[in-house]
Amino acid sequence: MGRHYLLLPKYDYSLIWQVIQGLCDEAEAPDWKTIASRLSRYGRWEFEDYNTL
Nearest to 39, CA basis, from 30, 26, 50: 26
Is 33 strand, coil or helix?
Answer: helix
What is the model's pLDDT at position 53?
60
Average pLDDT, the chain: 84
Amino acid residing at 9? P
With vertex at residue 28, the alpha carbon angle to CA 19 and CA 51, rounded to the nearest 5 degrees, is: 95
What is the model's pLDDT at position 40?
82
What is the model's pLDDT at position 41?
81
Is 5 strand, coil or helix?
Answer: strand
Q: Report domain extents, the chain.
A: 1-44
What is the model's pLDDT at position 21?
95
The per-residue pLDDT string of the chain (53 residues; one tens digit each, 9 = 90 and over) reads 567 787 889 999 999 999 889 999 999 999 988 888 888 888 877 766 777 66
